[in-house]
Amino acid sequence: MNEMKKINLIVNDKTYQLEVDIRESLLDVLRNRLHFTGVKEGCSVGECGACTVLIDGVPTSSCIYLAVFADGKKIRTIEGLEKDGKLSKVQQNFIDEGAIQCGFCTPGIVMTTTALVESGNKFTDEEIKREISGHFCRCTGYQKIFDAVKKSLDDK
């Protein structure tokens, strides 16, 4: 039952060699082993979106993704967005638009937005909403989150 497996995780361009319990989620390994605590846990069952990270560019709920599945894959977390001490445009837009309140859902939504921006695709307002609909936010009523996402997509 208590089976361990060696894996390589590439998190924000840095490789970590780890031995993980095959039952451990990627979320638990990122948070508890590697201390990427910007990855938040809101429900543990893939409902709320707070734990979203990018796995090979795809927004993924890390709470329902086993760590062993991530072996060799490129993972990006909120901690990897700042470059040379400068916030990414998406991060700055979330601040300037007032899209942050308690901040617990913020990292997940910023990661999904980052993936949308990097996809190079165009999105209608309805499509933006659909893309963000996997994230719950109880503070903002999504108004400023929508504005920040839209601004990030327009900014390119």
Partner 1 sequence: MGFKIIGSSVNRLDAVSKVTGKAKYTNDFFEREMLCGKVLRSPYAHAVIKAIDVSEAKALPGVIAVFTSQDLPKLKYATAGHPWSIDPKHRDIEDRMILTDKARYVGDSVAAVVAQDEIIAKEALKLIKVDYEVLPHVLDPEKALEKGAPIIHEERPNNIVNDFGNEYGDYEKDFMNAQHIMEGVYDTSIVQHCHIETQTAYAYIDTDDRIVIVSSTQIPHIARRVVGQALGLSWGKIRVIKPHIGGGFGNKQEVIIEPLVAAMTIFSHGLPVRYTMTREECFISSRTRHAIKFSLKTALTKDNKLQAIHVLGISNTGSYASHGHSIIMSATSKFRPLYNFKSFKIEPKTVYTNLPAAGAMRAYGVPQMIFALESHIDDICRKLDLDPIEFRKQNLVSVGHEDPISHVVVRSIGLSECIDKGKELIKWEQKRANYKEQTGDKRRGLGMACFSYFSGTHPVSLEVAGARIILNQDGSVQLQVGATEIGQGADTAFAQMVAEVLGISIDMVHVISTQDTDITPFDTGAYASRQTYITGAAVKKAALEVKNKILTIASRKIGLQIDALDINDATIIEKKLGKEICSLGEIAMEAFYDRTHSHPITSDTSVNIRTNAIAYGVTFVEVEVDMKTGVIEVIEIYNVHDSGTIINHKAALGQVHGGVSMGLGYALSEKLMFDEKTGRPLNNNLLDYKLQTIMDTPKIGVDFVETYEETGSFGQKSLGENPTISPAPAVRNAVLDATGVSFNKLPLNPQTVFEKFKTEGLL
CA-nearest of 48, 56, 49, 10 to 30 is 10
Q: Could you say whether residue 65 binds partner 1 (CB under 8 A)?
A: no
Asked if residue 102 binds partner 1 (CB under 8 A), the reply is yes
Query: Tokens representing 79?
Result: 């901690």
Told to check if 82 binds partner 1 by CB under 8 A, we report yes
Q: How far apart are CA 67 and CA 103, in angstroms?
A: 25
130 binds partner 1 (CB under 8 A): yes
Residue 86, interface with partner 1 (CB under 8 A)?
no
Residue 29 makes contact with partner 1 by CB under 8 A: no
Are the CB atoms for 8 and 72 separated by under 8 Å? yes
Tell me the C-alpha distance between 7 and 69, whole Å.
9
152 binds partner 1 (CB under 8 A): no
CB of 86 to partner 1, least distance (A): 11
Determine which residue in the list 137, 151, 152, 153 makes contact with partner 1, applying CB under 8 A: 137
To which H or E segment does residue 17 belong?
strand 14-21
Q: Per CB under 8 A, does 138 bind partner 1? A: yes
Look at residue 140 and give its three-state secondary structure.
Answer: coil
With binding defined as CB under 8 A, does residue 141 bind partner 1? yes
Q: Partners of 8 in the beta sheet? A: 17
**Which residues of the shown chain bind partner 1 in the complex (CB under 8 A)?**
23, 31-32, 35-45, 47-48, 50, 77-79, 81-82, 87, 91, 94-96, 98, 100-107, 110, 129-130, 132-133, 135-146
